[in-house]
Amino acid sequence: MTWTTIRKRPAGDPPPNLPDYAAARANFTWAAARAELEGLPGGGLNIACEAVDRQVHAGRGAAIALRWLGKTGERREFSYAELATLSDRFAALLRQLGIGKGERVCALLGRIPELYITALGTLKAGAVFCPLFSAFGPEPVRVRLHKSDARLLVTTTTLYARKVQAQRAELPALAHVLLTDLDAAETPPAATQSFQHLLDSAPTCGITLDTRAEDNALLHFTSGTTGSPKGAVHVHEAVVAHRLSGRLALDLRPGDIYWCTADPGWVTGMSYGIIAPLVNGATLVVDEAEFDARRWYSILEQERVNIWYTAPTAIRMLMKVGAEAAQGHDFSALRLMASVGEPLNPEAVVWGQETFGQPFHDTWWQTETGAIMIANTRSQDVRPGSMGRPLPGIDAAIVRRLPGGGIAVLDIDQPGELALRCGWPSQFRGYLHDAARYQECFVDGWYLSGDLASRDADGYFWFLGRADDVIKTSGHLIGPFEVENALLEHPAVAEAGMIGKPDAFAGNIIKAFVALRPGFTPSDALRKELIGFARTRLGPAVAPRELEFMADLPKTRSGKIMRRLLRARELGLAPGDVSGLESDDAEQAES
């Protein structure tokens, strides 16, 4: 099926932050973007200062920075001034505990206010913040605390008892554990302290910030979709790109109500769940609860969310629940809906248009890029299935690695590896303990992303698949995205994943795995129907030859389909690193 471009009519909304793409690119310099930041006296730079203190200095201290929605209906709000003070105090307490510049502070917390205070305070202290997703099991937690040489961990009593305590002896660098939920009268368990008590007794006066732009600030582990998670290191300079991309790709402006559904355990939840919106003066909506379609629709309506940043898996879950759940809600406050993390199938883009009156705007980036690189922005027409165009300041190209070294830049519509010209501020500065792997990502001044894509004549980029997931069948090179998209157009299909299965004749055949929408049950007839449906759309060479039904596809905890696990199961291979696998259950896959 050919999807038509969605032309957007000007609404009553304010004009977009990026009205003229070509002019913005032509006139762009990173020096000018950097000059928009406040900076520190003496030329330093600090992400948290730009995120909260700057708003206070600009007279916006009373504006709401964080609106927290608890699982059971509680509501708490923090102004920019309050967040500035609390993060100052957390920074002061880190200094009192002897946490030095560049040392790692980890948080193993659900989406609660203490997480935000810890992140910002750590950055202010000049230590490196490393978020851990609270649903990780004990082993992934231990591995990450160990790899990062964490000196201090902020967590809760329950998470500590379940996931850390028994392994504490194996973590000699971990000098301090602070628990967020102890009552004032409660004695902390052995070798822990009360977060609240220490915070309350920390000095109230501001602390001196002394970070430089090139100082390490953040350590993010990748999702582990293609293999073992890598620890990507980012510096304070990254905030230049956070601010710019938040403004241009997400259209953020002061006073916006903004909801990013990603957990800060992943890079999206940090770069766009905390930093970019605060740097741009927005109010963060933070929902402590897990996904629930009805709850989400209510939040969008009742909080009057203006900008919503979510992910394809969540969108497909909403689609699976059915459009009825969205009916009757008032989404008129929504100015922009955007998505990241996985390929966004055209069906989902168009569903956005039908359900909310506007399409989802796909954006592309990675843990390594630190910020959005390619986006469909508010002012431009959306081509469903395309990731959009590179933001001002970003040079992207489609390249091929040459056998003798070096790369060749490919022409329009040629499939190849998506590469970015080095030098953007949020470019990662290393993989933790893996210098060789880091070096392999760079050729002739370009960063090679490991994703395959093509670029059309108008400069829009189209995702084909991860280099590891692309398969060769009967001489054709096939990316999973187009096969999965075709299946997702069928009304019975909620999720689809594709792998190559070795075949003596064709080299590989395509096998698809499908989860059905409610109301459909697996049967041979439906299998045949789906294969036939894909054939008419894709042709016999590209259509799946085999199709298996599953209740759910295996996903990383950040919501990405793990095709390597489908492949391993199908071929009876070892599953590899499953530390990032979604609950059900990492141990099962390991056994």
* Interaction site with ligand ATP (CB under 6 A): 222-227, 229-230, 267, 340-344, 362-364, 366-367, 387, 449, 451, 463, 466, 558, 560
Query: What residues numbered 207-236 form the site for Mg ion, per CB under 5 A?
Result: 222
Cβ-based nearer residue to ligand ATP, 306 or 367: 367
Cβ-based nearer residue to Mg ion, 395 or 468: 468
Q: How far is the CB of 253 from ligand ATP (least distance, A)?
A: 23
Rounded-to-integer distance, Cα 563 and Cα 581, Å: 12
Instruction: Give which of Mg ion, ligand ATP, none residue 341 binds (C-beta under 5 to 8 Å, depending on kind).
Output: ligand ATP
Instruction: Give which of Mg ion, ligand ATP, none residue 466 binds (C-beta under 5 to 8 Å, depending on kind).
Output: ligand ATP
Which amino acid, 129?
F
Cβ-based nearer residue to ligand ATP, 334 or 344: 344
Q: Which residue is nearest to Mg ion (CB)?
A: 222
Q: How far is the CB of 364 from Mg ion (least distance, A)?
A: 12
Which amino acid, 166?
A
The single residue listed with the structure tokens 């919501």 is 559
Q: How far is the CB of 11 from ligand ATP (least distance, A)?
A: 24
- Helix, strand, or coil (residue 480): helix
Rounded-to-integer distance, Cα 409 and Cα 365, Å: 20
Whether the CB-CB separation of 188 and 182 falls below 8 Å is answered with: yes
Distance of CA 276 to the CA centre of its chain: 13
Cβ-based nearer residue to ligand ATP, 84 or 375: 375
Q: Would you tell me how many other CB atoms lie within 10 Å of the CB of residue 368?
A: 22
| DSSP structure string for 318-384 | HHHH-GGGGTT---TT--EEEE-SS---HHHHHHHHHHHSS--EEEE--TTT-S--EE--TTSPB-T
Q: How far is the CB of 67 from ligand ATP (least distance, A)?
A: 26
Instruction: Give which of ligand ATP, Mg ion, none residue 148 binds (C-beta under 5 to 8 Å, depending on kind).
Output: none
Q: How far is the CB of 61 from Mg ion (least distance, A)?
A: 39
The DSSP call for residue 53 is: I
Cβ-based nearer residue to Mg ion, 13 or 440: 440
Q: How far is the CB of 449 from Mg ion (least distance, A)?
A: 8
Rounded-to-integer distance, Cα 92 and Cα 90, Å: 5
Cβ-based nearer residue to ligand ATP, 99 or 398: 398
- Helix, strand, or coil (residue 260): strand
Q: How far is the CB of 560 from Mg ion (least distance, A)?
A: 9
Instruction: Give which of ligand ATP, Mg ion, none residue 345 binds (C-beta under 5 to 8 Å, depending on kind).
Output: none
Cβ-based nearer residue to Mg ion, 222 or 313: 222
Instruction: Give which of ligand ATP, Mg ion, none residue 51 binds (C-beta under 5 to 8 Å, depending on kind).
Output: none
Whether the CB-CB separation of 416 and 452 falls below 8 Å is answered with: yes
| Per-residue H/E/C for 116-169 | HHHHHHHHHHCCEEEEEECCCCHHHHHHHHHHCCCCEEEECHHHHHHHCHHHHH
List of residues contacting Mg ion (CB under 5 A) = 222
